[in-house]
């Protein structure tokens, strides 16, 4: 059973007024309501009811609308989703003047709820099968489809135990010839040593009889690396 509160600024309030107000709200079955009436309610500071205890509050006023304080009290006693109906009449109850109907939000102050984001609908693209579409594979020739041949990587390394072949075309024969002109052996290239300690610093620090004269700088004890620029240079 639902509860309804009727308040008025008058000294008396006929039950027929409450019935008519409920019927106007669309709640004609008055038997389902438990009614309470408070007369001269506008002179009160607080309504003698608990918070969120009323489903409907009907305010019947003859002189003026309820004050802001009374409206706060009406909101306090109303349940979430409850209805308020303010009905102002003249001295004759049968003559209507003004009406206000409102509904309290169905959520409590401080409550929270998640907002569901609408799903993004991607635009549909209709492809006409009769349109002139070009197959990309048809643009390739037989030459394009051939697997590219990677250039052979030379395995020759100047100063190693291997020698240049008879018909050497990788440049190793020329590099070996330049190394022979310097009078360097494979031991001097594989494990360079220095009596003075300056041989690895470069020609600026080497003596005139240094066996490493003309070679790039290197670290003692580590294999001498002959760069491409050195092998391409004329000795």
Instruction: Give the pLDDT score at 64.
Output: 79
Classify residue 149 by burial, with Cβ atoms within 10 Å: 0-12, 13-18, 19+.
Answer: exposed
**What is the average pLDDT across 78-102?**
76
Instruction: Give the pLDDT score at 152.
Output: 57
**What is the average pLDDT across 91-118?**
72
Considering the chain, what is the average pLDDT of its residues?
A: 76
Of 93-97, 124-128, 224-228, which one has max mean pLDDT?
124-128
Binding-site sequence positions for [4Fe-4S] cluster: 196, 199, 207, 210
Domain map (residue ranges) of the chain: 2-88, 181-224
Q: Taking 90 as the threshold, does the pLDDT of residue 77 lie above it?
A: yes
Write out pLDDT tens, residues 214-231: 777 777 777 776 665 555
Higher pLDDT, 9 or 161: 9
**What is the average pLDDT across 25-30?**
69
Instruction: Give the pLDDT score at 181.
Output: 61
Measured distance CA(210)–CA(11) in Å, rounded: 128
Instruction: Give the pLDDT score at 49.
Output: 92
Write out pLDDT tens, residues 152-192: 554 455 444 456 676 776 666 666 666 666 666 666 777 77
Instruction: Give the pLDDT score at 78.
Output: 92
Higher pLDDT, 32 or 69: 69
Q: What is the pTM of this model?
A: 0.44
Element (H, E) at 101: strand 96-103
Give the percent of the chain with pLDDT over 90. 14
- How do strand 54-61 and strand 78-89 relate by DSSP bridges? parallel
Higher pLDDT, 78 or 139: 78
Binding-site sequence positions: 156, 165, 168, 170, 196, 199, 207, 210
Q: Taking 80 as the threshold, does the pLDDT of residue 57 lie above it?
A: yes
Instruction: Give the pLDDT score at 204.
Output: 81
For tokens 């470069």, what's the residue?
202
Binding-site sequence positions for [2Fe-2S] cluster: 156, 165, 168, 170
Q: Residues near 145 by Cβ (< 8 Å), separated by ≥ 6? A: none
C-alpha dihedral sign at 79, 81, 83, 84: positive
């Amino acid at each position: 059973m639902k509860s309804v509160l009727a308040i008025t600024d008058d000294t008396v309030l006929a039950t027929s007024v409450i019935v008519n107000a409920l019927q106007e709200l669309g709640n004609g079955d008055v038997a389902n309501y438990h009614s309470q009436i408070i007369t001269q309610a506008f002179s009160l500071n607080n309504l003698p009811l608990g918070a969120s205890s009323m489903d409907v509050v009907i305010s019947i006023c003859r002189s003026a609308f309820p004050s802001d304080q009374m409206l706060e009290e009406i909101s306090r006693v109303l349940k979430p989703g409850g209805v308020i109906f303010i009905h102002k009449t003249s001295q004759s109850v049968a003559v209507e003047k003004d009406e206000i109907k409102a509904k309290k939000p169905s959520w409590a102050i401080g409550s929270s709820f998640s907002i569901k984001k609408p799903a993004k609908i991607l635009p549909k693209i209709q492809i006409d099968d009769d349109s002139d579409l070009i197959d990309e594979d048809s643009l390739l020739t037989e030459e394009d489809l051939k697997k590219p041949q990677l250039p052979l990587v030379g395995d020759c390394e100047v100063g190693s135990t291997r020698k240049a072949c008879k018909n050497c075309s990788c440049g190793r024969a020329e590099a070996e010839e330049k190394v022979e002109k310097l009078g360097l052996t494979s031991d001097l290239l594989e494990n360079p040593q220095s009596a003075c300690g300056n041989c690895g610093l470069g020609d600026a620090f080497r003596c005139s009889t240094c066996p490493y004269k003309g070679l790039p700088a290197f670290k003692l004890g580590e294999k001498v690396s002959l760069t491409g620029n050195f092998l391409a240079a004329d000795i």
